[in-house]
Chains A and B, each alone.
Chain A
């Protein structure tokens, strides 16, 4: 999908050890495979099935998604701020595509 677009919200700064909230959203139809088109044929499943958050290459959080996740998925979770660097967010599509977004943080 050409118009896939991810948004992330991460505090720009944090103190070491602080627990921060990360919010993410991505534009995706999350086609469940359970709908029919106008001709009555089943529309094939095409969802994001996995989400992974890393900081400087180290995995912090991972989630498996099924067909019941709403279209244009929103997800928020927490991490402990340990070091400055760049968070990478990756959404894995059924079709093999991987969509990325990133955000940097300065930890003092």
Chain B
């Protein structure tokens, strides 16, 4: 495994202070953070004509992440998970990561319960959302802001 530490692909305060931020960053394939608009576009594509409802889905996240390299999330959807009423997929979106998509989970009645737990990287303080697509075509969304702290030694 690499010894190089994960660098947050955004402008840190130090870079801004130095005024030299752009120089070292241009060469990277994708340095700039996604914008909330890009994240909205991802959501719009998922939801299609349905309007996401802020119900039936719960997203559990820390208010403050000690390290953006590992932020644990749990998402659960209130669904009987029967042949006629189940969650088809859950999508995790981080609005201002280099790429907004984090992970997608495909479920079926075989799961019995629509709940998953995982850990993700957050490049900076931002809004995180979970979108559930249901078997009846409805779309549900939950979101929360997570503050990502910057360590005293720049870590």
Contact = CB atoms under 8 A, between A and B. Distances in A.
B14 interface: no
Interface string B46-74: 00000000000000000000000111000
A66 B102 contact: yes
Question: Which interface class (under 10, 10 to 19, 20 to 34, 35 or more) fits B?
Answer: 35 or more
B113 A78 contact: yes
A76 B117 CA distance: 5
Contact of B6 (A32, A38, A64, A77): A32
A102 interface: no
A42 B28 contact: yes
Contacts, number: 119
A97 interface: no
A7 B114 CA distance: 22
A63 B104 contact: yes
Contacts of B118: 69-70, 73-76
A32 to B, nearest CB: 7
Nearest to B103: A65
Interface of B: 1-2, 4-7, 9, 24, 27-31, 69-71, 81, 94, 97-99, 101-122
